[in-house]
Structure 1
Amino acid sequence: MRRPAHLCDHRRMAHSFESLVIRHTHRLPSPKGAAGDGTIAARQFDAALTSVGFKLSAELLERLSGLCEAAVVHTARRTLRTVSEMVGDHVRHNSYFIDFPASVPDTEEFWTRCVAQALGDEKSRGKVLTQLRSGALDLLSLPAYGRYQHTYEEMLAAQDELIASAGDRITVLHLGRDLEDELTGLYLALAGSTTPLGEDDLRDLKTLAARCALGPQPEAIPVRENRAAVNEARLGVGADLLLDTVTDVLRLACALSGGDVTLREPTRFRSLSRPVRRRLLAGLDAVVAANPAKLADVHAHREPFKRLGERLHPHEHPGRPHAADVFAVARGEKEAPSFESRIEKLLDASDVVGAVKLLKSAPGKLFRALDLLLRVAAGQEERDAVVAAAVEVAPDVSGRVVLSVREHLHNRARGSDAPRIFVNRRGRAWVTPDFRAPVPAADRDRLIAALDAEVRRRLPAPARLLLDPEVLDVALPLSGRATAAGLGVLPRGSVSAVDGEQLRFFVYWKQAKDRTDYDLSGLLLRSDYSTDSWLSYTSLTAAGGKHSGDITEAPDGASEFIDLSLDRVRGTFIVPQVNIYAGEGFEEVEESFFGFMLRDGEQKGRPFEPRTVRMKSELRGTGRVALPLVFRREDDGRWRAKWLHVYLKGISSANRVEENQVSVSKVVRAVVEREQLTVRYLIDLMAGDTTSVDLWDGGTVPDEPVTYIGLERPEGLHPDSRIITPENLRDLIPG
């Protein structure tokens, strides 16, 4: 008998929310079902999870064992789908060379073989002969080139079984609370985040807000983009809007039109219903009526406000005069001097002290202008005024801005020979020389000391801190946009250990409609960032590495791999990159992701083995060359990864590692040599006289509540413990 449609929709929705909780927290909401003896089914579930690098915690295994077998099986099916997608095992990863990494030929030998096969084919012989006579051969015209020559099942049959290793990744799934409690907790954490969320997290917040708009709310929503997502949901259920600037209304209008709530990209405003127009105009009117000076904020986004005015029809609402003033300012019909123009006027007159006095009314803007103010100050007296003002307003500046300025000032000590790197919200990076005058060292040091004191004041002082040493070099997530969505992904600038003999990185993509060719390459750099060699479709074997073969279209999905024996690599840096040779961009394809695996030398196995995957990240950026991370050989011979999460503009087609090695080298140097604030920095500030700091060695955990900070949550922590892992690392950033 068919289930009613509404029941199927309800179950799909429940699975979607359950999956969201697992992805964000690595907790499985407390499973529901009739009581029974599900011990055997639960252990089978645990074994199936192990094949993709996951396992059940003892508490979760016990909970499942007390349910009936049908309930366990139902939970297992849903959960396995979710974790398989998390690690990239939800798709079929084939390789061009059927027994990769064995028997990968030299490039010239491979091309010659493809030509010989083409000449033996009556359909292609004439075309290939014509090309050979002209001296230029199109590889895509060869029938054997760029397309799988065997099925996925044939590839599996040709591969040896993976030998289990103690070094294989194991990600523990813990027992969560009821689904509703987990969703509410996740909503409060995302909405109340003190740092901007990445695009995927912001999308998840929007989904959660639609469900939680009438429930418990965070004490504050400091990030404006988060507020826009929440306001959209509140508008839908008739709740009061959270507005205190005219820009909040503009962001909400962008959200309602499916546009960019960060306001960095133009939004095409949709036609809005009359009730919605009334709510937006009422919001604008109330904000300006309460503080007319906020009309000055219109200048920063004049064009979007003008376009929004065309949709809201303020002339139809004469009872909202303050809202009409917003659009009059945008059109230049009403004056409202902007804060920035007043500051610029004072600086043009060399009145640094006057600019500082005005900036004290906007502490965040003062902090962002500190570098400039210290450089243009006429003498020590003016610099003293700048430092004194910064110290005075520091308590009113968000923790994220305080930490960002602290990191900036530290890196200003590197000198003018260090390159400057800029990364926009979509991950697009570019590097320029640093032509700025230096910040006087004494003033810089005074500011750093003051900022350290301010951060220390805001940090909690836990009685007992349990620390995983592997987390110490993880960069503080001052913006969610510096981290890609995925599994095992760390913020840009983080450093993590690479323990294994064989490094294998991979890319998977599936085109949406146009033929799309992504090329996985690996650039090997010397210690001075000059090129040593590379692996790509034009260099299948080099420096102890092998390329799995070039796939030039992906209507059903395609994968490419590069395998490296780390002890045979000559260079200091290994830079994986994904080049778009032809077709759809990273944000246009149906799906695309990158990752890497680590194996012991004798493990064998398929090209893609989920339990050896250490990281899998989504590829979403506006550039045509993706640089997810870089591997670096340290002085002791060990390898470590530093996370990049950047994209280069590239060219419209035919991007190749040979052509972009100089630009890649510059970006790698800029990120590698920049020093990020890490968890270690906060721990050093947090570890005062009242805090006991213990390093966790993977053994038994304390019986008492602790604050645990690490890459993975240990089993057996006291239920009242505070737990910080990469999934909620943003909670470390003080407000």
Structure 2
Amino acid sequence: MVHRLDALVIRHTHRLPLPTGPAGEGGTAARQFDAALMSVGFKLSAELLEHLSGLSEGTVVDTAVRTLGTVREMVGDHVRHNVYFIDFPAGVPDTFDFWMRCIAGALADDGTRANTLEQLSAGVVNLLTLPSYGTYRHTYAEMLAHHDELLAAAGDRLTVLHLGGTSDDELTRLYLALAGSGTPLGEDGLRDLQDLAGHCADGPQPEEIPVRENRAVVNRARLMAGAGLLLDTVTDALRLACALVGGDVTLREPTRLRALPRPVRRALLAGLDAVVAAAPAKLADVHAHREMFKRLGERLHPHEYPQWPHAADVFAVARGEKAARSLDSRVEDLLRTSDVTGAAELLKAAPGKLFRSLDRLLRAARTQEERDAVVAAAGQVVPDVSGRVVLSVRQHLHNRAQETGARRVFVNRLGRAWVTDDSRPPVPAPERERLIVALDAELRRRLPAVDHLLIDPDVLDVALPLSGKATASGLGVLPRGSSSPVDGELLRFFVYWKQAEHTTDYDLSALLLDADYATVSWLSYTNLRDAGGKHSGDITDAPDGASEFIDLRLGAVRGAFVVPQVNIFAGEGFEEVEESFFGFMLRGTEQQGRPFEPRTVRMKSELRGPGRVALPLAFLRGSDGRWRAKWLHLYLKGTPASNRVEGNRVTVATLLRGIVEREQLTVRHLTGLMTGGGTTVTVWDGKTVPAGPVTYIGLERPDGLHPGSRIVTPENLRDLIPA
């Protein structure tokens, strides 16, 4: 179990829990381990290499086997990436010529000749009926034989693995970081937290668990371990009930609640009773999930436990037998009578709700006195608002400076995106500016004092992770809206999928747009060569897994944007297949190698979204001619089948414009607030490490930092968000 959990530490922190074993002469094995890691784009830190060298050879080998399996999966090298065209990117034919060859092959086949002739007579041929189309015509080994070995280049990715503490210390540290995160975790993060919570239930616990979903996962582990529950709202108990049956703790999807053992029923009812007894007004929270509370009451049998009458009140409210007026309904009554001042005053009891209502309140205010009252109310409660909400409202107000009439992009917590006209009146500029100044002052007050800030300039345009739900899990993945440099002449992106039960056809495509977001061209199975790019060929069935690639020479690309996408043509969705992921590689012009070379992979992310079209990121050409990646993490609903790049060009262009033209709060903004007073700021040059402790913020942790340093990389970027 511990070894399996150690893999979580490596994935989340890039630290290897302290390997232990007999002392010995492990230097040779450690260097071989380091060389094997470098072949997949990883490397041992000097400290870790030294530690391993003092252990026995067997211990080093065992550590290497476990670690290599983890990092290969992190980068997508745990599967075999074959290509349809064996010499790809060489040997990709003209699309029409290729289709003609497939038809000729079908006509030469006794089994398919008649059907093909019938289709030709009708004027339309279904490519999927041609025997040579859509399936590999060679083995993985035969494909490898057609490719030279990759020549190492200075620009290849090299992710350093650092020496961690003991396994128990590292697992506890990771558990506390995930459980106490101030921003919601993604689906994979919640699953990892669940594994860690069970292991760490008897150990140290976070001082605070601000995110409700995290609290549900922790409460489940505490209940199983016989520890006390952490409940402060009635909804906490409902989330816990969902967690106990493996349901959705976010409460977005209905969970089928099952009968619960008597000790569990008693624990939930006692917890509910204590919450309501301490704050009867919290009964109003029941209205948001009335039907779920009704089902929970049927499972808990509160009538059997008269010692907890306040818990019974929860289910009486759900059934409509007891009144509990919500704060929202009272606010709505005041706004219906145009009492903006009264609504702002009432919302002070719920600071987070007040902040999320600021835009509406300021638009509804008719007089300067009312606008002043709204701003004053916000100023009074801002110390009680979470840092994540303060930053979200700060970002929102900044973007509300734009003129009305623009298009508005909505993205839900699952990454599903849609666009509509923005018909809202503007927020009054003076109040908007006053609030922005106040919010920045509050953020500056909360940020820790920093003596020496060492910062990687490439991290400055990374968006602050205000929600982990906006980011897929994987290697080198950044939050939605982030921008990062793309240094390389050859850009290659890839998709891999393996179907679970049914024939499944994913299509990797790329849309090329000009500076006005108009279509220039595209690359897909319908257009194998164009715009300096080549497609590796269409695979239409993946019982053993399948890969598709697109290769682009960035210098030859026409247009300003390249938008890779994964379209589901047929079969299982992204959440139904056994596995699916997307990524991109960068190479120099002199590098050849296999279609998939792990040490050239810059990013690999899981595809786990609700739509039928995935838009992981886009590539933007700047005014200086340099390319940058813009992180999207979006899913389009698409159609049940036959999604193609040609069919979603307008939607993709509109969404891209909305993301690109919306300004995100980035690391640059927070570091600007940090660097007042006597802070020393050093720009990381990739070479010189300061001798003393620093606060380092960057894309990769440098080797050799002082042990007393605070280190922030994309893996723990949420730690920058002030409490």
- With the shorter chain as reference, the TM-score category is over 0.9
1:326-405 equivalence runs, <5 A: 326-405=314-393
Structure 2: which amino acid aligns with 1:402? V
CA contact (8 A) 1:114 1:145 kept: yes
Shift of residue 159 of structure 1? 1.0
Alignment-derived partner of residue 614 in structure 1: 602
- Encode CA deviations 1:131-173: one digit per residue, 9 max, x unaligned: 1112221111100000000000000001121111100000000
In the alignment, does 2:641 pair up with 1:658? no
Structure 2: which amino acid aligns with 1:344? E
Structure 2: which amino acid aligns with 1:121? D
CA contact (8 A) 1:505 1:597 kept: yes
1:676 to 649, 659, 664: 664
In the alignment, does 2:20 pair up with 1:16? no
CA contact (8 A) 1:503 1:566 kept: yes
Shift of residue 67 of structure 1? 0.6
1:41 to 22, 29, 48: 29
User: Partners in 2 of 1:300 and 1:510 — Cα distance?
Assistant: 39
2:194 to 206, 221, 228: 206
Deviates more, 1:392-401 or 1:253-262: 253-262
- Encode CA deviations 1:83-107: one digit per residue, 9 max, x unaligned: 0000000000000000000010111
User: Partners in 2 of 1:39 and 1:562 — Cα distance?
Assistant: 41
In the alignment, does 2:179 pair up with 1:180? no
Corresponding pairs, count: 723
Structure 2: which amino acid aligns with 1:442? P
User: Partners in 2 of 1:185 and 1:318 — Cα distance?
Assistant: 42
Structure 2: which amino acid aligns with 1:109? D
Alignment-derived partner of residue 267 in structure 2: 279
Structure 2: which amino acid aligns with 1:189? A
Q: Percent identity?
A: 75
User: Partners in 2 of 1:520 and 1:577 — Cα distance?
Assistant: 6
1:151 to 121, 139, 142: 139
Shift of residue 700 of structure 1? 2.1
CA contact (8 A) 1:461 1:690 kept: no
User: Partners in 1 of 2:565 and 2:611 — Cα distance?
Assistant: 12
1:66-465 equivalence runs, <5 A: 66-465=54-453
- Encode CA deviations 1:204-255: one digit per residue, 9 max, x unaligned: 1111110111111111111111110100000001100001110100110111
Shift of residue 258 of structure 1? 1.0
Query: What residue ranges of structure 1 are gaps of 5+ in the alignment?
Result: 1-12
Structure 1: which amino acid aligns with 2:686? G
Alignment-derived partner of residue 5 in structure 1: none
Shift of residue 475 of structure 1? 0.4
- Encode CA deviations 1:539-575: one digit per residue, 9 max, x unaligned: 0011010000000010000000000000110110000
Alignment-derived partner of residue 461 in structure 2: 473
- Encode CA deviations 1:376-429: one digit per residue, 9 max, x unaligned: 001111001000110111000000000000000000012223321111111111
- Encode CA deviations 1:98-139: one digit per residue, 9 max, x unaligned: 000001011110000000011111111111111111222111
In the alignment, does 2:586 pair up with 1:593? no
Alignment-derived partner of residue 32 in structure 1: 20
Structure 1: which amino acid aligns with 2:577? V
Deviates more, 1:632-641 or 1:277-286: 277-286
Alignment-derived partner of residue 571 in structure 1: 559
Secondary structure of the corresponding residue to residue 297 of structure 2? helix
CA contact (8 A) 1:466 1:707 kept: yes
1:473-552 equivalence runs, <5 A: 473-552=461-540
User: Partners in 2 of 1:173 and 1:217 — Cα distance?
Assistant: 27
User: Partners in 2 of 1:416 and 1:571 — Cα distance?
Assistant: 28
Structure 1: which amino acid aligns with 2:189? D
Moved over 4 A (4+): none
- Encode CA deviations 1:606-632: one digit per residue, 9 max, x unaligned: 110000000000000000000000000
User: Partners in 2 of 1:161 and 1:38 — Cα distance?
Assistant: 29
Shift of residue 319 of structure 1? 2.0
Alignment-derived partner of residue 8 in structure 1: none
TM-score (norm. length: structure 1): 0.98
CA contact (8 A) 1:418 1:670 kept: no
Secondary structure of the corresponding residue to residue 252 of structure 2? coil
CA contact (8 A) 1:367 1:405 kept: yes
User: Partners in 2 of 1:271 and 1:651 — Cα distance?
Assistant: 38
In the alignment, does 2:638 pair up with 1:645? no
Alignment-derived partner of residue 10 in structure 1: none
Shift of residue 275 of structure 1? 1.1
- Encode CA deviations 1:653-697: one digit per residue, 9 max, x unaligned: 000000011111111111111100000000110001121111110
User: Partners in 2 of 1:652 and 1:241 — Cα distance?
Assistant: 43
User: Partners in 2 of 1:592 and 1:496 — Cα distance?
Assistant: 24
Structure 2: which amino acid aligns with 1:45? F
Shift of residue 456 of structure 1? 0.3
In the alignment, does 2:668 pair up with 1:690? no
Shift of residue 298 of structure 1? 0.5
User: Partners in 1 of 2:404 and 2:61 — Cα distance?
Assistant: 61
Alignment-derived partner of residue 717 in structure 2: 729
Deviates more, 1:60-69 or 1:262-271: 262-271
Structure 2: which amino acid aligns with 1:633? R
User: Partners in 1 of 2:613 and 2:441 — Cα distance?
Assistant: 41
Shift of residue 42 of structure 1? 0.5
User: Partners in 2 of 1:130 and 1:212 — Cα distance?
Assistant: 66
1:711 to 690, 693, 699: 699
User: Partners in 2 of 1:546 and 1:339 — Cα distance?
Assistant: 58
User: Partners in 2 of 1:273 and 1:660 — Cα distance?
Assistant: 50
User: Partners in 1 of 2:562 and 2:482 — Cα distance?
Assistant: 16
Shift of residue 34 of structure 1? 0.8
User: Partners in 1 of 2:278 and 2:2 — Cα distance?
Assistant: 43
TM-score (norm. length: structure 2): 0.99
Deviates more, 1:610-619 or 1:685-694: 685-694
1:624-643 equivalence runs, <5 A: 624-643=612-631
- Encode CA deviations 1:265-311: one digit per residue, 9 max, x unaligned: 11111221111111111111111111111111111111111111111
Alignment RMSD, CA only? Answer: 0.7
CA contact (8 A) 1:99 1:155 kept: yes
Secondary structure of the corresponding residue to residue 564 of structure 1? strand
